Structure 1
Amino acid sequence: MGQKKWLILLVFMCLFTFSCARELRVKRHHSPQVYNHTLATILVEYASAVYMSDLTELFTWTCSRCDGLTKGFEIIELVVDVQHCLQGFLGVAKDLNAIVIAFRGTQEHSIQNWIEDLFWKQLDINYPGMSDAMVHHGFYSAYHNTTIRPAIINAVERAKDFYGDLNIMVTGHSMGGAMAAFCGLDLTVNLGIQNVQVMTFGQPRIGNAAFASYYTQLVPNTFRVTNDHDIVPHLPPYYSYFPQKTYHHFPREVWLYHIGLGSLIYEVEKICDGSGEDPSCSRSVTGNSVSDHLVYFGVRMGCNEWTPCRIVMDPRVAEYGKTDLKGNFILSRPPAASILKLRTDSDAAGNHF
């Protein structure tokens, strides 16, 4: 009788272990959205431009990255949270007939320490109003608990009042991608805006499977572009044996990878499944490359040079700006307003903060 009890207990433990070890599936309540390659190549340029530290060139859209597919973009709000080394902008892209919001990621020279730190990050805050949904406190706070959110929300309302009900496209690279995701969710949940699209590049995981399910339901028009062996989309680590507690990507991933045919190398875009953790996409390779993190679609991501949260700005742009007591800076102008022609060459007088 004792042996029978032990056998029953053993079988029960095996079934319990198998059940707990299964990967959770993200619930989907919408038909899959269609990935647009051309749009991705445009938004990646916005995600790159937001890294520029010269606020004069960025605010007047004359920087070296403010050309090409983003030419003619009209910035309405540019915010720099010096206290937390964060930066974002909002404006109108008339060729897209959309409001574009972009957030800056981690600077290249500090990215190694940031990556090492992400290996140990735990789910440490409940997302408001979502049962069992937990997220990364640092990523959540970077958007919600800094000067970034009030400035962006204010600019969204001004842009929509002037231009009407435009689509909103939110983008960012690396940590900027995490902020973009929280922004897209915020606009949908708290402002009731339905026409929000999010596209990120090299984004880390930001929440658990419960959060991913809620996010998928509320912001279905979302794509996370990952590049080859980029290390950041693998962080914080995903542990399939702890599906309830581990970080979990939301869908839909688009994985860029390379194949060689003789002397030719081609970049392939794979549209991944709706799980958020497709084992045949970026999870199929070792995420061990920082260099793959810093280039997407041939566009350089990150700053041109090491600037420890420094602002470069022509004094004459000050009429568009305001600074709070902590040194955080916002440049703002009315939609469609003309802007003073400013010098952007090396002879122009400038302030460095």
Structure 2
Amino acid sequence: MSDLTELFTWTCSRCDGLTKGFLGVAKDLNAIVIAFRGTQEHSIQNWIEDLFWKQLDINYPGMSDAMVHHGFYSAYHNTTIRPAIINAVERAKDFYGDLNIMVTGHSMGGAMAAFCGLDLTVNLGIQNVQVMTFGQPRIGNAAFASYYTQLVPNTFRVTNYHDIVPHLPPYYSYFPQKTYHHFPREVWLYHIGLGSLIYEVEKICDGSGEDPSCSRSVTGNSVSDHLVYFGVRMGCNEWTPCRIVMDPRVAEYGKTDLKGNFILSRPPAASILKLRTDSDAAGNHF
């Protein structure tokens, strides 16, 4: 896209309910960023209820005893998303060089981001991959978590206070090898109170993936904690396909129109207008 305003506001012609995410190049990070959209808010309640009953039901290829969640695995591997990502990564690397790759996502998007980061490392041989997820559910068993940790060590799972989703599917301590198990490293956001003041604290958890002093130390019973991370709402106020979450530093340079669309004060694509018209390496959709 030559004008990224519609991309930033999630109002472009392809930014509809079927769009699962986007890939772009962040020059300030010197990285290719792959972002997966989270679960749409009008279906999140049913999705959470469904996760209580999900079982490990597929073997991850090439990993002995590693089992994963079929739905999450298929959402990335068995759709048009994967080939679109691979194509976009190759095009971005051709144009910008060998950049680091950052994969991120919220909720179900976090699960897909994890599978994407693993795929890029194992099947494409890319070593400079970082994964950071927010409110991600468990996606595999302990054997899978162990393999994942070795292959994608630069991974962080951010969890928020009583967020219900990181507690799902349930972890059964009396079946440690058969139950779902998180991979490390978790960063738990929680609140402490000093009088009338409430502070948000970030705790870096241990390397087990299931640190009992982090999110597992509290009851996972909050949908609202799932929808807000670092003070940023990860969804919409209305039951519509989610719009992109704007970084407050970007939001300072724009305004919102009557339809809720974000309008930037300058063309954000000014520095990349030299790109060939058939190239969308800085804003590929999948």
**TM norm structure 2:** 0.80
Give, in angstroms, the shift of residue 305 of structure 1.
2.7
Q: Deviations over 1:300-353 (max 9, x none)?
A: 102343236999999999999999999999999999898899999999999999
In structure 1, the partner of 2:116 is 183
Compared CA separation, residues 154 and 70, structure 1 to 2 (3 A): closer
Residue of structure 2 aligned with 1:314, choices 234, 247, 250: 247
Give, in angstroms, the shift of residue 58 of structure 1.
1.8
Compared CA separation, residues 338 and 148, structure 1 to 2 (3 A): farther
- Confirm or deny: 8 A CA contact 1:56 1:313 kept in the other structure: no
In structure 1, the partner of 2:7 is 58
- Confirm or deny: 8 A CA contact 1:55 1:311 kept in the other structure: no
- Confirm or deny: 8 A CA contact 1:209 1:243 kept in the other structure: yes
Q: Rg bigger for which structure?
A: 1
- Confirm or deny: 8 A CA contact 2:167 2:216 kept in the other structure: yes
- Confirm or deny: 8 A CA contact 1:258 1:265 kept in the other structure: yes
Aligned residues: 286
Compared CA separation, residues 251 and 334, structure 1 to 2 (3 A): farther
Give, in angstroms, the shift of residue 237 of structure 1.
0.0
Give, in angstroms, the shift of residue 224 of structure 1.
0.1
Residue of structure 2 aligned with 1:133, choices 66, 69, 76: 66
Task: Using the TM superposition, name which of 287-296 and 104-113 deviates more.
Answer: 104-113
Compared CA separation, residues 233 and 350, structure 1 to 2 (3 A): closer
Compared CA separation, residues 91 and 321, structure 1 to 2 (3 A): farther
Q: Deviations over 1:110-159 (max 9, x none)?
A: 11100000000000000000000000000001111111111111000000
Task: Using the TM superposition, name which of 105-114 and 169-178 deviates more.
Answer: 105-114
Residue of structure 1 aligned with 2:92, choices 159, 162, 170: 159
In structure 1, the partner of 2:106 is 173
**C-alpha root-mean-square deviation of aligned residues, in Å?**
9.3
In structure 2, the partner of 1:192 is 125
3-state SS, counterpart of residue 110 of structure 2: helix
- Confirm or deny: 8 A CA contact 1:315 1:351 kept in the other structure: no
Task: Using the TM superposition, name which of 289-298 and 342-351 deviates more.
Answer: 342-351
Give, in angstroms, the shift of residue 105 of structure 1.
1.1
Task: Using the TM superposition, name which of 335-344 and 92-101 deviates more.
Answer: 335-344
Give, in angstroms, the shift of residue 235 of structure 1.
0.1
Task: Using the TM superposition, name which of 324-333 and 140-149 deviates more.
Answer: 324-333
3-state SS, counterpart of residue 206 of structure 2: coil
1:343 and 1:330 mapped to 2: Cα distance?
25
Q: Deviations over 1:75-116 (max 9, x none)?
A: xxxxxxxxxxxxx10000000000000001111121110000
Compared CA separation, residues 186 and 333, structure 1 to 2 (3 A): farther
- Confirm or deny: 8 A CA contact 1:230 1:290 kept in the other structure: yes
1:348 and 1:204 mapped to 2: Cα distance?
30
Give, in angstroms, the shift of residue 181 of structure 1.
0.1
In structure 1, the partner of 2:216 is 283
2:61 and 2:255 mapped to 1: Cα distance?
31
- Confirm or deny: 8 A CA contact 2:145 2:181 kept in the other structure: yes
Segments of 5+ residues of structure 2 without an aligned counterpart are none
Higher relative contact order (CA 8 A, sep 6+): 2
Task: Using the TM superposition, name which of 147-156 and 228-237 deviates more.
Answer: 147-156
- Are 1:305 and 2:238 an aligned pair? yes
In structure 2, the partner of 1:248 is 181
1:178 and 1:68 mapped to 2: Cα distance?
19
Compared CA separation, residues 322 and 219, structure 1 to 2 (3 A): farther
In structure 2, the partner of 1:217 is 150
